[in-house]
Amino acid sequence: MLAEIKIKFLNWDSVFFGYKIGALEITSAFCLPALTAIMEEAKATGYRLLYIKISGDKSLIQEEKTSQYKLILADERLTYIMPVDVAAALPAVAPHVQKYQAAVPDKQLIDLALQSGAYSRFALDPNFKNQEFTKLYTAWITKIVTKEIPEELWVCTNAEQDLVGFVTIGFDQLGAYMGLMAVNEINRRQGIAHSFIQIAHTRATQAACTTLRLVTQKANLPACRLYEKSGFVLSQTEYLYHLWLQ
């Protein structure tokens, strides 16, 4: 039914990107006239972009239904969960991994933040024309460093004290989670990502959390293999579409 599908105005996204953005969440099948009416309403009220989230069954929406607009499957988002044994012995933190201490992010950290979003829908959707991805991930890591986003920031350095990787760790009502993570391309396959997972598990244990979770993209096959090998289990798949109206 049309009345059951509402556009949610996204104020932060709209202000940050400079054009009107809204969101739809589709959880059950709906008729084509309803979707068409919503698109027309969104376009008439000035929306340029709608995010459409579908959990579990992407057949609920079909690209041919929106042929008059640009509809892109922008992200197949996977949520992984690992159970945490709160009684487990805590491994020592590797000496080359420590919390980030600077008051603002330096260029190396910003570069790593951009690498962490290589499979992001904001990086891969060609309809973003105004450096949205770079602006978003620079702002994201800045808010973490300045504590506006309450996540821990752990970094790995090499012998020359250059940053070669980082991970963010947060806590909420569901438990502990890993947020952004990246290892510099030339420093991969050296166990750094495993060290970050170990630290996240340790912090989850210290906080008496029973689960550790993370979100990644299905297209990021190396990351998916790493997480599954490390003991994470896939718990949810979500499909995120971008519907461009103007």
Q: pLDDT tens digit string along 124-149?
A: 999 999 999 999 999 999 999 999 99
The pLDDT of residue 112 is above 90: yes
Residue 2 pLDDT grade (very low, low, confident, very high; cuts 50, 70, 90) = very low
**75 CB-contact burial (10 Å; exposed 0-12 / middle 13-18 / buried 19+):** buried
Q: Which of 77, 93, 120 is the last residue of a domain?
A: 77
Residue 21 pLDDT grade (very low, low, confident, very high; cuts 50, 70, 90) = very high
Question: pLDDT tens, 68-102?
Answer: 678 889 999 999 999 997 656 555 566 688 999 99
Name the domain count of the chain: 2
Q: Which of 77, 95, 120 is the last residue of a domain?
A: 77
Residue 48: how many other CB atoms lie within 10 Å? 18
Do 67 and 170 lie in one domain? The reply is: no
The pLDDT of residue 1 is above 70: no
| Residue 241 is assigned to a structural domain of this protein | no
Q: Which residue has the higher pLDDT, 44 or 187?
A: 44
Residue 194's CATH number:
3.40.630.30
Stretch 26-34: mean pLDDT: 62
Do 15 and 126 lie in one domain? The reply is: no
Q: Which of 17, 50, 77 is the last residue of a domain?
A: 77
The pLDDT of residue 208 is above 60: yes
| Residue 245 is assigned to a structural domain of this protein | no
The pLDDT of residue 219 is above 80: yes
What's the domain range around 16?
A: 2-77
The pLDDT of residue 32 is above 90: no
3-state secondary structure 12-77: HHHHHHCCCEEEEEECCCCCHHHHHHHHHHHHHCCCCEEEEEEECCHHHCCHHHHCCCEEEEEEEE
- C-alpha distances (whole Å) from 73 to each of 125, 133, 178, 221, 244 are 9, 17, 24, 17, 12
Cα–chain-centroid distance for residue 47? 23
The pLDDT of residue 185 is above 50: yes
Percent of the chain past pLDDT 90, that is, above it, reads: 70
Question: pLDDT tens, 34-75?
Answer: 677 888 889 999 999 999 988 766 655 655 555 667 888 999
Do 127 and 53 lie in one domain? The reply is: no
For residue 151, the model assigns a pLDDT of 97
For residue 74, the model assigns a pLDDT of 94
Mean pLDDT of the chain: 88
Instruction: Dihedral sign for Cα 87, 92, 94, 95, please.
Output: positive
Residue 191: how many other CB atoms lie within 10 Å? 12
The token pair that represents 21 in the structure block: 């953005």
Model confidence, pTM: 0.89
For residue 186, the model assigns a pLDDT of 86
The pLDDT of residue 200 is above 60: yes
